[in-house]
Amino acid sequence: MATGISRVLNLRHLRAFVEVAHQGNFTRAADKLAISQPALTITIHQLEDLIGVELFKRTTRKVSLAPDGEEFLPTAERLIEDFENAILSVHASARRRSGVVDIAVLPSIAVRLLPRAIESFRQSTPAIKVNLRDDNARGVHRQVRRSEADFGISNQWQDHAELEFTPLFRDRVGAVLLPNHPLAASSSPLPWHKLKEYPFAGMSQDTGVSVLLNTTEGLPESVYSPDYEVLTMAALAGILEAGLAVTALPELAVPRLSESPLVFRELTNPVVERQVYIITRKNQPLSRSAQTIRELLATTLADPRALLDGNVAKAG
């Protein structure tokens, strides 16, 4: 049964408390919450009056948590997260009933493979609408964990206990070069150590490619500490097109340039491959529509190179 306090206290009070605790400053917290500082101050005073304890120590320079505030913070954060997850769960349930399937997917796979894969079975599933939600590896994991997507297609960014990873295909990593680059002349596999002679462009730590390369031993130091670091494939393509650096990517992740195709040359010593998975939440059955699309994609993408469109040239 709800108490008098719980009938008056609401999510607005909890969000205000958590944001002030995180920011350590009322002005920054008010900006984050998009409210005025006086309104935020009143909300915190209301919360403290409702529960009968002081949550913050206030000085002219700083706001810090009082002992009762430190004890209350994890509970407040959990309550907010539980509320948000409950809303997401309701949306997910409604989505499952509607015949809409949301797939969180790496941009390279969303562009290179999924349109052709979906087209191959679209006529047999006319009642199912598929939405592609492209994101980096961390974002794909987050979308699946939060039930924002029915399932994901990505490499493994981190090991999450609540996620299940079903192997889909492997994607060989190679050097990506302009056609006139000295290393593009041969078609034979290229030893990794040859890359250390040239500036290297790498992906940011938010990406699965970065995790893959940084956890592989025996690569040139320039791979671990690149001369250029970017978040998006568009930015990487710009660096490559300008001739500023070389890079190493899974074959399916190679960006496509408008003028001339980039050259992909397999790297060896060591051989590095990206394992791509279908990612689902454990103990959360897929809807009938999502399960249908998952099974069709698992079959269609078993040989992804059959769907490639030839925009990446092989060395030699």
**pLDDT digits 0-9 by tens, 236-295:** 999 998 999 999 999 988 887 656 688 999 999 999 999 999 999 998 888 888 999 999
State whether 270 and 281 are in the same domain: no
Rounded distance between C-alpha atoms, residue 112 and residue 256, angstroms: 10
Rounded distance between C-alpha atoms, residue 249 and residue 172, angstroms: 8
* Structural domain boundaries enclosing 237: 171-274
Which residue bears the tokens 């970017």? 230
* Residue 288: other Cβ atoms inside 10 A: 12
Does 95 score more than 80 pLDDT?
Answer: no
State whether 181 and 207 are in the same domain: yes
CATH number at residue 16: 1.10.10.10
Rounded distance between C-alpha atoms, residue 115 and residue 130, angstroms: 10
Supply the pTM of this predicted model: 0.66
pLDDT at 8: 75
pLDDT at 311: 46
User: In 3-state terms, what secondary structure has residue 177?
Assistant: strand
Exposed, middle or buried: residue 260 (CB in 10 Å: 0-12, 13-18, 19+)? exposed
CATH number at residue 224: 3.40.190.10
State whether 188 and 250 are in the same domain: yes
pLDDT at 111: 86
Question: How many domains, the chain?
Answer: 3
- With helix as H, strand as E and coil as C, how does 262-296 read? CEEEEEECCCCEEEEEEEEECCCCCCHHHHHHHHH
Picking from 15-29, 48-62, 247-261, 293-307, which range would have the lowest pLDDT averaged per residue? 247-261
List Cβ neighbours of 223 (8 Å cut-off, separation of 6 or more): 192, 195, 200, 202, 213, 248
pLDDT bucket at 91, cuts 50 / 70 / 90:
low
- Tally the C-alpha atoms within 13 A of residue 116's C-alpha that lie toward its C-beta: 13
State whether 162 and 176 are in the same domain: no
State whether 179 and 257 are in the same domain: yes
